[in-house]
Amino acid sequence: MRNPEAVAERIREARSAAVCCHVNPDGDTIGSALALRLGLTRLGKTVEVFCADKVPDSMRSLSGAEAVRGFDSLREGERFDLLLPVDISDDYRMGKDAQGTDWFHVIRQRCGRTAQIDHHGSNPGYCEANDVDEKAPAAGLLVREVLDLMGVPLDRDIACCLYTAISTDTGNFSYAADAETFRVMAELMEAGLPLQTMNRRLFVERPMAQQLLIARALASLRYTHGGELAVMRLTRADFQETGALSEHVDPIVNMGLQAAGAKMSLLGRESSTSIRMSLRALAPARVDGVARAFGGGGHGQAAGCTLQGALEESLGRVAAAMAAELDRQEQA
């Protein structure tokens, strides 16, 4: 479904666009969306960015982050020429309104045309124009290509947004990054990217609540399957007692892979209604198939799913499936 030209053409035709992020936003969806906002605004278009959840604190310094709106802020009669989801693998990933209706279908009724930019292999191509490349390490790289097709020059603000997208989805370039990733990084540096400042903001500095949450997760850490599989858990009490938020969870699962010999990592966190699972792997090991088996999805080395039931039982089921997948991959 690689078709950046079709997406660029939809953008050219539009005078206004609703750029959308996925629920529990990460750096790729936020950075990509804000880069598009900057680029399209400079082409004279009216752009609004929507997300069901708040922008993570580490990204609130990005240009336009303060203007990101919740879908529930849609005004009566507000319409757009183009709906433009970015880094959203399926339409349900925008979240739901209070009545349980997918936000995609709510906002779709207010938009004339649809186009999307994404890099998830599970994406079914739910828009009219689809630029989907599962080989791309981050949606931000595809956004860079579309902006280039539109004739939008890079500047410092766009560079900061694209760096946020690319660096976070590649684990700070520790997995999935390819030669094209570093060619784009060179362009971002030439555009004035303040690398040291952005790197510290995204990967070093943490709110105290997040640091305390990390301590709770690491206290639960155990290694199974001969040390190849890390398993961690976070309960609702952990969040309540530390004051941590959902956005503080993202980097924790990767810590399980820091031990020598570890190949996969699993973090299960308890919410009020479900158990959210984050799965990670070091190449060539893959976890996307395990996530899909539980109704989720993602990439080979980073995936997720949501289960119903008790935390320990859910962790046991997913961990067993990951151990079986390790055995299968090692025998292949």
Q: What is the pLDDT of residue 251?
A: 85
Q: What is the pLDDT of residue 126?
A: 97
Q: What is the pLDDT of residue 297?
A: 87
Alpha carbon 241 to its chain centroid, in Å, reads 27
Burial label, 226 (beta-carbon count in 10 A; 0-12, 13-18, 19+): exposed
Query: Which fold is adopted by the domain 4-203?
Result: inorganic pyrophosphatase (n-terminal core) (3.90.1640)
Cβ partners under 8 Å of residue 299, min gap 6: 119, 120, 121, 134, 176, 288
Q: Which residues of the chain have pLDDT under 50?
A: none
Is 208-331 in the same CATH topology as 4-203? no
Expressed in percent and rounded to 5, the helix, strand and coil fractions of the chain are 45, 20, 35
Distance between CA 117 and CA 142 in Å, rounded?
7
Average pLDDT over the chain, rounded to an integer: 96
Tell me: the pLDDT tens digits for 241-259? 999 998 899 889 999 999 9
Q: What is the pLDDT of residue 147?
A: 98
Examine residue 284 and say whether the peptide bond preceding it is cis (omega within 30 degrees of 0): yes
Element (H, E) at 182: helix 179-190
Element (H, E) at 84: strand 80-85
Tell me: the pLDDT tens digits for 208-219? 999 999 999 999
Residue ranges of the domains in the chain? 4-203, 208-331
Q: What is the pLDDT of residue 315?
A: 97
Tell me: the pLDDT tens digits for 114-173? 999 999 988 999 999 999 999 999 999 999 999 999 999 999 999 999 999 999 999 899
Distance between CA 92 and CA 12 in Å, rounded?
27
CATH class held by domain 208-331: alpha beta
